[in-house]
Structure 1
Amino acid sequence: MGFTAADLPSFAGRRVIVTGANSGLGLVTARELARAGASVILACRDTAKGDAAAAGMSGDVGVRRLDLQDLASVHDFADSIGLVDVLVNNAGIMAVPYAITRDGFESQIGTNHLGHFALTNLLLPKLTDRVVTVSSLMHWSGVISLKDLNWKARPYSAWLAYGQSKLANLLFTSELQRRLTAAGTGLRAHAAHPGYSATNLQGHTGNKIGTPIWLTLNKVAGASPEYGANPTLYAASADVAPDSFIGPKFGARGPIGPVGRSPLARDATTARQLWDLSEQLTGTQFPL
């Protein structure tokens, strides 16, 4: 049957941050880590929704505001945090209509990658164990455009923009691990993907035709958020090799463990170039 949340070891005495923890995979991830004894911070843009989610959890759970589409909010959040054992970069948006963040980034790369990039760098001096970043099978469709990361010079495609952001998650993880290893720290960076999990992400595409199709597919083929959170929980707790990518063995379903990634996700040169560009765009640097 493989790993499930019931197999989590004790997290007593450990502190964890989960971004986007008020719904979907993030809610389940936070709930299960709290159940295992962790002190969990739900980092949410809407703190009212975060409070509602926290009310349904047992254990030591707190809510703090974090808007990944606003770098000022990311700085404020990071400044408010003390020592943390595990950072789970879970929050994300999927295939939404074109929009820009407060800092002028295309919203998907801004939320899914650049916001988490800044958050991670700001928190690294306070981290003791690992960073887990949630990617997607859709990274296989992703191509990084270093010249037009924010879709200002090409026709916008919601799905290609999503694929680019999820590929960026994996390149970020690999380059982060390279830097952590070079710095001689024991910190680890992992990525995870949920397979095909039915969450509220599929209901916000803004497409009158596509959204009903996705919601129907959710009912027919989508796995539960509880199943979809298992790879993240595994990556947050298991003793696996640095830069592991964790997901279901058979893509959308199957036992949880290390899985493969696309050739573009293994491109170390692009990973370093994306890191340099992300530093320029966010004004944050690797601090160790």
Structure 2
Amino acid sequence: MTSNFGATSTTDEVLAGIDLKGRRVLVTGTSAGLGIETARALAAHGADVVGAARDLAKAEAATGVVRDAAKTAGGRFSLIELDLASLASVRAAADRLVADGTPFDIVIANAGVMAPPFGHTADGFETQFGTNHLGHFLFVNRIAGLIRERLVNLSSAGHRFSDVDLDDPNFEHTPYDPWVGYGRSKTANILLAVEFDRRHKDRGVRAAAVHPGGIRTELGRHMTEEAMEALVVSLNESNAAAGLPPFEFKSIPQGAATSVWAAVRAEAEAVGGRYCEDCHVASITQGEGLRDGVRTYALDPDRAKALWALSEEMVGERF
């Protein structure tokens, strides 16, 4: 596996020398930030990219750079409507893709929300668990037959805030904390990759979860500047206690690099069922704070199976 990439690598560096002509990729969340950069980088290397976004008008206005890249490289770019906070929208988008029947070599589940005030999706699920996990769970399973090579789920070091709560996923009996909610949903993203990988690897389809790093994007729109500064202070205190260097934000091309690395550059066997960061497979760590590594509960195969069963029950479908 190519390993000469790291935290400062960019999408273009990771994809240097790779020809993606004839490959088809779906990227969710292509109306801002990492989603646009991920789609642009793939299109710039010849891939046919389908972007999924809740707000099509916003996505159309924001993805000119992706269309330009596709035109220059001889690929194609198109958009579909997908609101992950509405199971009806998820089903409609998936049904449209299945009816079309054109396979995807790679699906990158990039969209998400972070630390919003307490709320619910259209179907009554806590906003973060419903959007970040259940929406993608239903979507990727409904189009699973179209996926030929790899699923990449965007997670976060924020998974270290909390394991999933299989007894109270919607905070009906426990006080809501936005960061605990975020942690639950990001742990769920990893566990979905673990179980999806187990179920589909025999047919040659692998799944991985990735942490893009800390990036200033629209994902942080629910945070005040003061809250962001306080989080950075907390991260630096944790890093200092562990003898690590201060936290640094990544650029958007650096943040999207691990997604394209796990999707295209890394060997499937190396990343299947794993959690990746900074363009490498992360080690398991139990230390405090948001340092490098992944918690054992996020890779627990039994936990992954239990979450899968709960998710089927919540969306009302079995896969």
TM-score by length of 1: 0.90
- What is the CA–CA distance in structure 2 between the aligned matches of 1:211 and 1:222, rounded to whole Å? 11
Aligned equivalents of 1:44 and 1:215: distance in 2?
Answer: 29
Per-residue displacement from partner, 1:153-184 (whole Å, max 9, x unpaired)?
11100000000000011111111111113xx3
Match of 2:151 in 1: 131
User: 181, 185, 199: which is aligned to 2:217?
Assistant: 199
**How many residues in Structure 1 have an aligned counterpart in Structure 2?**
274
SS at match of 1:189: strand
Is this contact kept in 1: 2:10–2:255, CA < 8 A? Answer: no
Return the alpha-carbon distance in structure 2 between the equivalents of residues 124 and 93 of structure 1. Answer: 23
Unaligned runs of 5+ in 2: 71-75, 236-246, 284-293
Aligned residue identity for 1:52: A
In the other structure, the counterpart of 2:227 is 210
Cα deviation for residue 213 of structure 1 reads 5.3
Q: Report if aligned partners of 2:90, 2:138 keep a CA contact under 8 Å in 1.
A: yes
8 Å Cα contact 1:121/1:285 also seen in 2: no
Give the aligned residue type for 2:93: F
In the aligned structure 2, how far is the partner of 1:44 from the partner of 1:76?
13
Corresponding position: 1:12 with 2:39: no
- The answer to whether the Cα contact below 8 Å between 2:26 and 2:106 also exists between their aligned partners in 1 is yes
- 1:106-255 paired onto structure 2 within 5 Å: 106-181=126-201, 184-205=202-223, 209-210=226-227, 221-238=248-265, 239-240=267-268, 241=270, 242-248=272-278
Q: Please state how far the C-alpha of 1:285 moved relative to its aligned partner.
A: 2.8
Please give the alpha-carbon distance, in whole angstroms, between the structure 2 residues aligned to 1:263 and 1:213: 27
d(CA) in 2 for partners of 1:171 and 1:105?
18
Residue 311 of structure 2 corresponds to residue 278 of structure 1: yes
Written as runs of structure 1 = structure 2, the 5 A alignment for 1:34-53 is 34-53=43-62
In structure 2, relative to structure 1, the CA distance for the partners of 1:144 and 1:66 (3 Å cut) is same
Asked which structure has the greater CA Rg, the reply is 2
Q: Report if the CA contact (8 A) 1:74-1:118 is conserved.
A: yes
Give secondary structure in 2 for the equivalent of 1:164: helix
Q: Aligned residue for 2:65?
A: 56
Is residue 296 of structure 2 the alignment partner of residue 263 of structure 1? yes
**C-alpha distance 215-35 of structure 1, shift in aligned 2 (>3 A):** farther
- Please state how far the C-alpha of 1:34 moved relative to its aligned partner: 0.7
In structure 1, list runs of 5 or more residues that go unmatched: 249-255
The 3 A distance-change label for structure 1 pair 142 and 215 is closer
Alpha carbons of 1:27 and 1:98: their partners in 2 closer, same or farther (altered >3 Å)?
same
Deviates further, 231-240 or 162-171: 231-240
CA contact (8 A) 2:163 2:187 kept: yes
Shift of residue 10, structure 1, vs aligned partner? 1.4
Q: What amino acid maps onto 2:33 in structure 1?
A: G
CA drift at 1:79: 1.2
Q: For 1:209 and 1:228, how far apart are their aligned partners in 2?
A: 23
Cα distance in 2 for residues equivalent to 1:93 and 1:163: 11
Q: Distance in 2 between matches of 1:203 and 1:103?
A: 23
RMSD of equivalent CA atoms: 1.9
Name the CA distance, whole Å, in 2 between partners of 1:222 and 1:214: 12
Take 1:128 and 1:113, find their aligned partners in 2: how far apart are those partners?
22
Q: Is the 8 A contact 1:191 1:244 kept in 2?
A: yes
How far off is 1:54 after superposition? 2.1
Closer, same or farther in 2 for the Cα pair 1:12/1:208, shift >3 Å? closer
In 2, are the aligned partners of 1:203 and 1:211 still within 8 Å (CA)?
no
